Amino acid sequence: MNKLRIENVSYRYSNHYQTTYALREVNAQFQSGQFCVIEGKSGSGKTTMLSLLAGLDLPTEGNIYLDGKSYRELDRDKLRRKQLSIIFQNYNLFPMLTVQENIAYPLGLTGRKKGNWKERINEILESVGLSESMQKKFPGMLSGGEQQRVAIARTIASEAPMILADEPTGNLDTSNSGRIVEKLKKLSHEDGRCVILVTHDPDIARQADVLYRMSDGRIVEKQNAMDSGKTTDKIV
């Protein structure tokens, strides 16, 4: 079981005139089999928190631990290759690769035999509401919502034990948004993955097993539906 722990994490950046804290003394915990949501308005610190969880930067203060090992001691490039899959707001697709090739890329990293790829890609495309006919198209031929779903499909294909998703439904209509959230919940509950989703949408937040609400760089509330009965902790 993978367990991710944030302990007394602060993150600040400075220029010639001032120092700004994006995160202040944040504590949180995530583990396999949970659909976790970090909710907050723009500027609340939620995307910074996700970036640190992804190992794209290190905290200014405090530590992040994966199964008891500090990110400061881990090979973070290897961490992202083997343990994490990230759904970016800007899709981050390879523009010169087709939809099929974009989704197949992580399948190659998992060691899955090529003979099984096409069937697997079709299954994944269907699960995110895209047709088989999309496979030969390039990202530039797709709408923003379609590119978002391809990015999500690629993450599903990766089989990484932890998924970090930055506003993954931001460019989707209500129907496809619901489909994607249900798929991510299924990946956590049935496949045992740890899914950490950042959003400003309260409807998505209400579906979380574990919910952290953020404001001004701090976690101000935690809700846990994994306990017997939903519990809420206000954090001062």
Flag whether 139 is in a domain. Answer: yes
Count how many domains the chain has.
Answer: 1
Flag whether 75 is in a domain. Answer: no
Flag whether 146 is in a domain. Answer: yes
Those residues with Cβ within 8 angstroms of residue 227's Cβ, 6 or more apart along the chain or in another chain: none
Flag whether 152 is in a domain. Answer: yes
Flag whether 113 is in a domain. Answer: yes
pLDDT (tens place) for every residue of the chain, 236 residues total: 678 999 999 999 888 888 899 999 999 999 999 999 999 999 999 999 999 999 999 999 999 999 999 999 999 999 988 899 999 888 889 999 999 999 988 876 555 556 667 788 888 888 888 888 888 999 999 988 899 889 999 998 888 999 999 999 888 888 888 988 998 999 999 999 999 999 999 999 999 999 999 999 999 999 998 654 555 666 64
Flag whether 108 is in a domain. Answer: yes
Q: What is the pLDDT at residue 113?
A: 59
State which residues form the domain around 128: 99-159
pLDDT digits (tens, 9 = 90+) for 115-169: 667 788 888 888 888 888 888 999 999 988 899 889 999 998 888 999 999 999 8
